[in-house]
Amino acid sequence: MIKQRPRSRRSSFGEPLMQGLLWSSVLLITGAFMWLCSDIVRHGFRQLSWDFLTQLPRDTGRSGGIGPILVSTGLIIGVCLGVSIPLGVGTAVFLNEFSAPQRWLSQFLGISLDILAGVPSIVFGLFGNAFFCKTLGLGFSILSGGLTLACMVLPILIRSTQAGLQSVPNDYRLSAAALGVSRSAVLWQVLLPAAMPGLVVGLLLGIGRAIAETAALLFTSGYVDRMPTSLMDSGRALSVHIYDLAVNVAGGEQNAYGTALVLVLLLMMINGSVSWLGKRFQQTRILDV
């Protein structure tokens, strides 16, 4: 209301100065943004075609498409979600529904999730290389990359699922208990469906983080740009492809821009659905069961 435009008649010397400063910084940022976006769209759009999306990269990526890279990216994300969804949802349910916040396990989990969320991605890469590739003997593979990313997106997934569960009114739990419904039935029939929007938002945010990630994949899932035949093959993710084309391949910029445009479009779709779902989530709050 008033917050938006507190009016006053007395305008001092500072006021026009600040107005100028504010508008110029906003114009500066918008300008930089337009510059960045127009470059990506302009250079990337030229590359974009059905062939580009489906064909094999040729001449170390200078020409040809990104077919195998899209497949590898999909597989890495699939492994990542396959592991992180059960772990994340299970942990969130445990924290919210089965454990008291005072318990040491809950407190420890809270702290460790905060740390996990702050660890730089390159450190996840080091860990993934030492643990998944070397100690577990998975080598440079899609599996190692996906598992490393699963560790990275876990905090996001847990926090959003928790937020979803917290928004389910306690009446639901009490009514179910009064009816003599078992806790697991309440969980499957009432709590999880009601917490679904939060879960989906977390899921999309997690996919967004995973798909944008490069540093953690450099030495876990590797560089190989062939079509992967199994999860134990090394596979190159979209982001790694962009890096490789830009830095190691002379004349690879055009295809790097094309891949970047594909990546940014994917992310924009994901972010768009997050904000759309988030808004719906806030409006409905809970599911009409």
Partner 1 sequence: MTTLLKRSILSRSYGDRFVAALFQGFAIASGAIVLLIILFLLRESYPILHRVGVLRFFRDPSWHPTSGEFGAMPMLWGSLLVTLGSVLIATPLGILSAIFCQYYAPPRLAPLYRRLIELLAGIPSVVYGLWGLVVLVPLVRRIQPPGTSLLTGIWVLALMILPTIMLVADASLANVPAAYLRGAAALGLSRWAIVRGVAIPTAQAGLMTGILLAIGRAIGETMAVLMVCGNVVQVPDSLFDPVRTLTANIALEMAYAMNEHRSALFVSGLILTGLIAILVTIGEWVNRGQMYD
| 86 part of the interface to partner 1, by CB under 8 A | yes
Name which of residues 87 to 106 contact partner 1 (CB under 8 A). 87-88, 90-91, 93-95, 97-101, 105
Binding part of the chain for partner 1, among 65-73, 118-126, 196-204, 279-287 by CB under 8 A, reads 118-126
Q: How far is the CB of 107 from partner 1 (least distance, A)?
A: 10
Name which of residues 168 to 187 contact partner 1 (CB under 8 A). 170, 173-174, 176-177, 180-184, 186-187
Contact 175, 237 (CB under 8 A): no
Long-range contacts for 31-38 (Cβ within 8 Å, ≥24 apart)?
none
Question: Which residue in this structure is represented by tokens 């899609």?
Answer: 142
| 1 part of the interface to partner 1, by CB under 8 A | yes
Q: How far is the CB of 31 from partner 1 (least distance, A)?
A: 11
Name which of residues 240 to 279 contact partner 1 (CB under 8 A). 242-243, 246-247, 253, 256-257, 260, 263-264, 267-268, 271, 275
Radius of gyration (C-alpha) of the chain in whole angstroms? 23
CA 42 to chain centroid, in Å, comes to 26
Binding part of the chain for partner 1, among 51-59, 195-203, 210-218, 281-289 by CB under 8 A, reads 210-218
Name which of residues 217 to 246 contact partner 1 (CB under 8 A). 218-219, 239, 242-243, 246
